[in-house]
């Protein structure tokens, strides 16, 4: 049984968008002076991973994590427009942060021990799992069937590292973006494509010729990334994440960006406890 079918998709009733603000705003810690002096939030977001972060047909930034960035800008600077977005990839997002090109990463960033050695994280705002996309007629039914196969993945991704450490007999074709990895898979340069399950769910919903193995692995938390030593900033951002959950802001964002037929999975990663990993 797949992780998706195991999860109890309890869809909580949502209050109207007149969220109860009560004393939450007063409980927000002060914005660090290093940030407030800029008068703009510099956010690193993904540009190729709907529904979390992408650019729409007009080139505008869109997605749940983009909305999170705008919400933080509104709380910190009084306007959702006071945010400057930078596209980041799985490979360059941490260097962009360490190089002070951005103030934070809201970029499908999983919390891992390796990353915790070089950057800091807020409290998690969701969990995520990885899965593998294959062709319907591939005969690949489980991860073990990938031995000797070629697997498309992203440079610097947790999926690439997972297969490198646990299944070195799988050849990985490492690409710069999700679009490149998916294209390589579709062109037949790879037998399968691994990524966040949330990304792959979108692909399968729009392409009946492919399917998921549905053997989720590398289940981890996703959080906002920031530089080490910025304790006041981490405290502020963690408070912002807490407030987003308390005010149930994630549900309308998911409803805005995710088609109804696959929405239950995305609601679960924001609203349900993280499941146990079988690997």
Looking at residue 187, which CATH number applies to its domain?
A: 3.40.190.10
pLDDT in tens, 244-265: 999 999 999 999 999 998 999 8
pLDDT number for residue 39: 86
Domain-embedded: residue 208: yes
The first and second tokens of residue 111, run together, are: 């919390």
pLDDT of 268 above 60: yes
Q: Are 15 and 221 in contact (CB under 8 A)?
A: no
Nearest residue to 221 via CA among 116, 131, 112, 119: 112
Taking 80 as the threshold, does the pLDDT of residue 140 lie above it?
yes
What's the domain range around 211? 128-219
Residue 254 forms part of a structural domain? yes
Sign of CA dihedral 50, 55, 56, 62: positive
Domain check: are 92 and 149 in the same one? Answer: no
First to last CA, the chain: 15
Q: Which residue has the higher pLDDT, 121 or 3?
A: 121
Residue 27 pLDDT level (bands cut at 50, 70, 90): confident
Residue 279 is predicted with a pLDDT of: 60
Q: Which residues pair with 41 in a beta bridge?
A: 83
Average pLDDT over residues 134-140: 97
Residue 11 token pair = 């869809």
Is residue 224 over pLDDT 50?
yes
Taking 60 as the threshold, does the pLDDT of residue 54 lie above it? yes
For 142, counting Cβ atoms within 10 Å of its Cβ (0-12 exposed, 13-18 middle, 19+ buried), the class is: exposed
The answer to whether residue 277 sits within a structural domain is no
229 and 116 in one domain?
yes
For the chain, the domain total comes to: 2
What pLDDT was estimated at residue 198?
A: 86
Same domain, 14 and 117: yes
Answer yes or no: do 27 and 99 share one domain: yes
Q: Compute φ and ψ for 247, nearest 5 degrees.
A: -90, 5
């Amino acid at each position: 049984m797949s992780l998706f079918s195991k999860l109890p998709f309890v869809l909580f009733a949502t209050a109207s968008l007149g969220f109860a603000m009560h004393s939450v705003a007063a409980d927000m810690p002060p914005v660090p002076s290093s940030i407030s002096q800029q008068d703009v939030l510099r956010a690193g977001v993904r540009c190729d991973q709907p529904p979390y972060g992408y650019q729409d047909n007009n080139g505008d930034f869109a997605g749940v994590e983009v909305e999170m960035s705008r919400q933080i800008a509104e709380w910190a600077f009084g306007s959702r427009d006071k945010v400057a977005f930078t596209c980041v990839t799985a490979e360059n997002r941490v260097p962009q942060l360490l190089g002070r090109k951005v103030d934070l990463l809201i970029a499908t960033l999983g919390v891992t021990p390796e990353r915790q050695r070089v950057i800091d994280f807020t409290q998690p705002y969701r969990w995520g799992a990885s899965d593998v996309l294959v062709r319907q007629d591939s005969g690949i039914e489980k991860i073990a069937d990938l031995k000797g196969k070629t697997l498309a993945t992203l440079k610097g991704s947790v999926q690439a590292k997972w297969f490198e450490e646990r299944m070195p007999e799988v050849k990985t074709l490492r690409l710069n973006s999700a679009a490149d990895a998916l294209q390589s898979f579709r062109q037949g340069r790879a037998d399968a494509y691994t990524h966040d399950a949330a990304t792959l769910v979108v692909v399968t919903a729009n392409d009946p010729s492919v399917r998921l193995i549905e053997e989720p692995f590398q289940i981890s938390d996703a959080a906002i990334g920031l530089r080490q030593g910025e304790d006041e900033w981490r405290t502020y951002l963690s408070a912002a994440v807490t407030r987003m959950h308390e005010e149930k802001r994630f549900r309308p964002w998911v409803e805005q960006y995710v088609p109804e037929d696959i929405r239950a999975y995305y609601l679960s990663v924001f609203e349900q406890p993280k499941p146990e990993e079988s690997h």
